[in-house]
A = this chain, B = another copy of it.
Amino acid sequence: MSALRTLSRRTASSSARLISSRLAPVSSLSSRSFSVSASNMGRFDGVEPSAPSVKTAIPGPKAKEQIADLDKVFDTRSLNMLTDYKSSVGNYIADPDGNVLLDVYAQIASIPVGYNNPHLIETMKSDAVVSSLVNRPALGNFPPNDWAEILRSGILKVAPKGLDQVFTAMAGSDANETAYKAAFMWKRQQQRGGAHVEFTEEELNSSMNNQSPGASELSIMSFKTAFHGRLFGSLSTTRSKPIHKLDIPAFDWPQATFPLLKYPLEEHVEENRKAEQDSLAEVERLLTTWHLPPCAVIVEPIQSEGGDNHASPAFFQSLRDVTKKHDVLLIVDEVQTGVGATGKFWAHEHWNLTTPPDMVTFSKKAQTAGYYFGKPELRPNKPYRQFNTWMGDPVRAILFRGIIEEVEKYGLVEQTARVGDYLHGKIQQLGDKYPGQFANLRGKGQGTFIAFDNPKRDEFLKVAKTLGINIGGSGASAVRLRPMLTFEEKHADILVKALEKIATSLQ
C-alpha cells in the first residue's frame, strides 16, 4: 500500500494546483508542452491530478461532521462519500477533507466526460440554458420554437440505427415506464384492429375502475437478475435484489432466466450455448403461455445492477427473432450501457441485428432520458395518451448535445474501446497471478464495461477507497468498473496498480 501512498503524497501539492486551474479554457490545452498528438491528448491533461491523493480516513473529520448534520434532514445510510464537486476534476472525485480519488464508479455510471468538463461548463452558461431553466416548458403543450433543432442536433443525432423518433422523459425509470405504456397501447390497438377503431363503452367505463378490458391484462416480460427501475411498473420488471422490491405491490408479470455464462468463455462454449438456448426456449414458452400475455420483452445488453451478466450477440439476435415471431416488441434498456461505455455508442450495436429493436431506452450518461422508436404505430392513436406536464427537460437535452460534441471531438467512444482492451488485458494478467481474486472476468471487447467477482467484494471496495480508488459493486459479488469516457491508459495503470495491492491485502 505504501508505494501508492507515497506517490499520492508526492503529487498532492501539484494536484491542488491543477485542481485550482480546472476551469482553464479549452484552448489552454494547446499550449501544453507535452509532445503528444492531438488524437492521443487526454481531455484533462494538465488540469487533473496525476494520481489520487488520500490524506485522511474516508470519511475524514470534516466529512463526518457534515454527514451528521445532513442526516438530520436527509437519509444518509446509503451515503458512499460526501463529495466536494467544486474540487473534483476529470476522472478524479474529491471530498471535503481534501481526499482526491480516481473515480471508476462515476455517480453510478452516469458521468460521461469528466467532472467540471470545460466544454459542458461553457454550454451550461449559455443563454439558451438559462432561459430553459427559468422558463421550463410543458413540452407537450408549449414546446419552445427551437425544440426540433435541439432534438435533431443532440438526442436524435445519436439515435440508434432505424429509430428516428424519441419520447423524452426524466430518468431511467420513467423512460422505461413510458416505453411500456407505448407497448401496451400498441398491442391493444393491434388487437382492436387498428388506429381507427374507437374504444368501446365497456373499455371507457372499465378503465376508470382499473378493470379490464379498459385496463389491459397484458404484461411486460423481463429477465431474472434484471434491473429496469424502481417505480411500480418498472419495479415489476426489476428482479435484482429483494431489498429493492420488498413490500411494494407488483404486477404478476413473467420473468425468463437470463443465461448465466461461465468464464472464461473460451472454455465453456458448449455449456454457454446451451444456457442461451434454454433461456430462449423459456422466453418462447412464457410468451405463449403466461396468463397475462406479454406485449414486449425488455432486456439490458449487459445486466448491470444484477452483477454484470453478459450474453452473446447470437443470443440477442435470436431474442430479436423470437419477439418478431410472436409479434411482441423488443425493448432494449440502454440506461447503463448506452453512450459509449462499451466501446460502441449503443451497446446493442455489438449484436449486428438485421432489424433494429422496437424501442431503446436511455438515461444516466445521456443526462437526459427517454425512449427511441421507429415504427409509426408506436405513436399512440390519439393525443394526450402519452403525456405529462414537463415531458423531459430541455436543459438536459442541451447538455446531452454538449456531451455528444465532446465525445465526437475527442473520439471518446473509440478511446474507450481501446482503453478497455488495454485494461481488460491487464486485469486478465492479475487474474493469472492472483487466482480467485479476479474471477469470471467479463467485458472483453466491451470497452471499459468490465467486471469480475471477488469473494470478499465488500471489503475489496473499502480497501480500494483507502488506496484512492472510488469503485462500485453490483449483484452479490461483482466489482464493476464504470469509468468515464475520459478514462485513459494512464488511469488504467493507476487502477491496475491499486487492484494488485487490494488483491495482495485480501489474500
Contacts and interface: CB of A to CB of B under 8 A. Distances in A.
Interface of A: 63, 66, 69-70, 72-86, 88, 93, 95-96, 107-108, 110-111, 115-117, 120-121, 124-125, 127, 129-138, 140-145, 147-148, 151-152, 156, 164-167, 170-174, 177, 180-181, 184-185, 188-189, 199, 203-205, 207-211, 214-219, 229-234, 236, 239, 242-253, 255, 292, 363-364, 367, 379, 382-390, 395, 399
Contact of A136 (B75, B204, B367, B389): B367
A62 to B, nearest CB: 8
B245 A108 contact: no
A229 B174 CA distance: 12
B203 A242 contact: yes
A444 to B, nearest CB: 27
Given A83-B137, A247-B185, A248-B184, A233 B232 contact: yes
A69 B148 contact: yes
Given A108-B141, A134-B124, A242-B203, A216 B247 contact: yes
22 contacts: A69-B148, A82-B143, A83-B145, A85-B137, A95-B145, A107-B136, A107-B137, A108-B389, A110-B138, A111-B136, A124-B134, A184-B249, A199-B242, A203-B242, A204-B242, A205-B242, A210-B236, A210-B251, A215-B245, A230-B387, A232-B251, A243-B382
A204 to B, nearest CB: 4
Given A66-B145, A137-B85, A242-B203, A250 B215 contact: yes
A184 to B, nearest CB: 5
Contact of A387 (B78, B115, B147, B385): B78
Given A78-B384, A171-B389, A134 B121 contact: yes
A230 B199 contact: no
A13 to B, nearest CB: 22
A206 to B, nearest CB: 9
A78 B115 CA distance: 38
A81 to B, nearest CB: 6
Contact of A85 (B108, B131, B164, B384): B131
Contacts of A229: 388
B83 A210 contact: no
B246 A204 contact: yes
Given A211-B252, A245-B207, A230 B75 contact: no
Contacts of A129: 124, 133
Contact of A116 (B134, B215, B383): B134
Contacts of A72: 148
B74 A245 contact: no
B232 A231 contact: yes
A296 to B, nearest CB: 12
Contacts of A88: 135
A329 B78 CA distance: 25
Nearest to A211: B252
Given A141-B78, A364-B389, A177 B231 contact: yes
Contact of A84 (B145, B148, B171): B145
Nearest to A230: B388
A246 B207 contact: yes
B239 A208 contact: yes
B173 A171 contact: no
B243 A108 contact: no
A-B pairs, top 8 by smallest CB distance, nearest first, are A232-B233, A77-B383, A210-B250, A80-B141, A215-B250, A70-B148, A78-B383, A188-B247
